[in-house]
Structure 1
Amino acid sequence: MHRQVTAEELEYLYLLIGKGIWHLQYVEDGVSGEEAKALLAKQRRNTLGTSLKIAREKKLIEDVLLGRPSEFKEECDWLVHRSQCSHGDLLYTDRGRAETFTRLEAFTNEAHRLQAALLGDINQYLIAIGIDTAAAQRFASQNTGRLRSEG
């Protein structure tokens, strides 16, 4: 059964797209140490695909660990470049809307999981090289709290 998408469903679609892209950016960020300060502006311009390519070429991450981020990149490419074309017409059916919303929700959930996994790996690395991660966490929490109270 085809029907017009409601304003609420369209708003939810846009919310999920925005949420997915927002959380993708957390996954795309991720360097540490003094090098991060020097390269941060440049690295933040990289897309997930570019970051994965660099990691693969420079052997920064073992190939076996690149599978999940690579699969996520495919979903990222779908969301940013193909979702409207591939799923736009599906929004006019109950089943199509459900499929689209489920895929978008899964994308955001995977962004959360990847972010946590990457932060865990970074944390283990920092501990291994002798950085006090508890102090860094306290500093980050204080800074975040300050930024939130300035709003």
Structure 2
Amino acid sequence: MRREINSEELGFFYRATGEAIWQLQYVEDSLCKFYIVICIHFGCDGITRENAEMIQKKISRKTLGQLIGLLERTERVQSSMLSDLKEFNSLRKWVVHNSMRENGQDLYTDHGRDEFAKKLLVFGNMAKSIHNGISDSLMHLVTTAGHATEEQIIRKANSEIDRLKGKA
């Protein structure tokens, strides 16, 4: 059925799109840190503990695709993770650059709205899953290398959350 999108549906699309973009930024931030830690651990790309902070500032400006390329060149990231990241990046391009142009007209049909919403939700869920996977990989790498225990990392993370909330 063809009809104009109502305000409740429009609100959902705006919120879902905003959440998707926010989740994307979490993934990008985590990938930067992941890349730095991998490079320090395995001696890649001249990154050391001493220059990591400076290099991270530069790397944090890179796009998701550029970050995936950096990770791929280290040859230290599992192919399944790279494959997931590439699929996510393809969907990111649709969300960020092409959703309105390619599928904006779909919002005028019930089926189109449903498909559009599903795609946004898939992207958001994929972002959360990838972010969790990166966090798990970082935790594994840091703890197995003996740099910190999981308890120390969680304690520091909770302390930072408390600080941000104004509780510290």
TM-score (norm 2): 0.82
Aligned-partner SS, 1:4: coil
Aligned to 1:116: 132
Equivalents in 2 of 1:17, 1:135: separation in Å? 35
Aligned-partner SS, 1:88: helix
Question: Is 2:41 aligned against 1:25?
Answer: no
Question: Is 2:167 aligned against 1:145?
Answer: no
- Please say which of residues 60-69 and 91-100 is displaced more in the overlay: 60-69
Q: 1:125 aligns with which of 123, 141, 146?
A: 141
User: Gaps spanning 5+ residues in structure 2: where?
Assistant: 41-48
Q: Mapping of 1:22-101 within 5 angstroms?
A: 22-30=22-30, 31=33, 32=37, 34=49, 36-101=52-117
TM-score (norm 1): 0.91
Equivalents in 2 of 1:11, 1:41: separation in Å? 35
CA-to-aligned-CA distance 1:72-110 (integer Å, 9 cap, x gap): 110001101100111100001111101001110111001
Identical residues among aligned pairs (%): 30
The 8 Å contact of residues 29 and 43 in structure 1, kept in 2 or not, is answered as: no
Q: How far is the alpha carbon of 1:36 from its aligned partner?
A: 4.3
Count of matched residue pairs? 150
